[in-house]
């Protein structure tokens, strides 16, 4: 990343993997079999597709277990998986399987949902592209941030953690490395899209920068 910060965005098309689940055991098997792209779509991308509060079940697996299998305790466990805590999709998959293994191991029979309610494993075919917006300093970063869309926020805040392989994001990395704004970078990094939707996070970041500029 050069001295300038270049804002990128992402657009994706979900496609069916050919794998589906009708009960807990087949959900477990599906999570074990599908690509990392599918896990990413159902856990991380759910943050982009829904603007719910932290009280809601954010990822698709938890939501399906709650709505169609009527397993609220397991749904809560699956929903407690905060993508913000992980630096790889593999770690997320392992945690999902860990929680499911406990429940599946205790059950002798498995309720099967009707075909119309089966869980369809999807994966994302996405493209990343420049938005044309750039920033050289804190003021221009502040101005550009108010113009970018959800796809850009998702790419730089959520997907960045997996791309960088560490618990950070593109905004914080640039602010710390290029502008030496370590405190601001750390505060932004503490904002979880699991606790706020991405619009709210943008507003909070803008507010933090305005405070710093004043």
Q: Which of 93, 123, 153 is the last residue of a domain?
A: 123
Encode pLDDT of 88-117 as tens digits.
999 999 999 999 998 888 776 788 999 999
pLDDT reported for residue 38: 97
d(CA 5, CA 92): 29
pLDDT reported for residue 51: 53
DSSP 103-154: HHHH-SS-----GGG-EEEEEEEEEEEEEEEEESSHHHHHHHHTT--HHHHI
60 and 85 co-located in one domain: yes
pLDDT reported for residue 195: 77
Q: Which of 123, 146, 164 is the last residue of a domain?
A: 123
Positions in the chain whose pLDDT score sits under 70: 1-2, 50-57, 108
pLDDT reported for residue 104: 87
107 and 140 co-located in one domain: no
pLDDT reported for residue 18: 97
Q: Which of 102, 123, 144 is the last residue of a domain?
A: 123
pTM of the model: 0.86
Residues in the chain: 214
Q: Is 6 within a domain?
A: no
> Domain tally for the chain?
2
């Amino acid at each position: 990343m050069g001295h300038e910060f270049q804002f990128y965005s992402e657009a994706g098309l979900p496609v069916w993997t050919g794998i589906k689940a009708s009960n807990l055991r087949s959900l477990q098997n599906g999570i074990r079999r599908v690509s990392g792209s599918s896990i990413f779509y159902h856990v991380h991308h759910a943050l982009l597709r829904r603007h719910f509060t932290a009280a809601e079940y954010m990822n698709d697996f938890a939501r399906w277990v709650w709505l169609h299998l009527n397993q609220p305790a397991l749904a809560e466990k699956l929903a407690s998986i905060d993508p913000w805590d992980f630096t790889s999709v593999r770690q997320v998959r392992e945690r999902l399987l860990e929680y499911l293994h406990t429940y599946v191991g205790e059950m002798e029979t498995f309720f099967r949902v009707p075909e119309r309610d089966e869980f369809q494993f999807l994966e994302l075919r996405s493209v990343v592209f420049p938005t044309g917006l750039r920033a050289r300093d804190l003021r221009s970063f502040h101005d550009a941030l108010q113009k970018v869309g959800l796809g850009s926020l998702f790419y730089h805040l959520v997907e960045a953690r997996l791309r960088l392989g560490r618990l950070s994001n593109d905004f914080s990395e640039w602010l710390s490395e290029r502008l030496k704004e370590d405190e601001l970078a750390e505060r932004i990094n503490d904002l979880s899209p699991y606790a706020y939707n991405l619009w709210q996070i943008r507003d909070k970041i803008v507010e933090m920068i305005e405070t710093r500029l004043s």
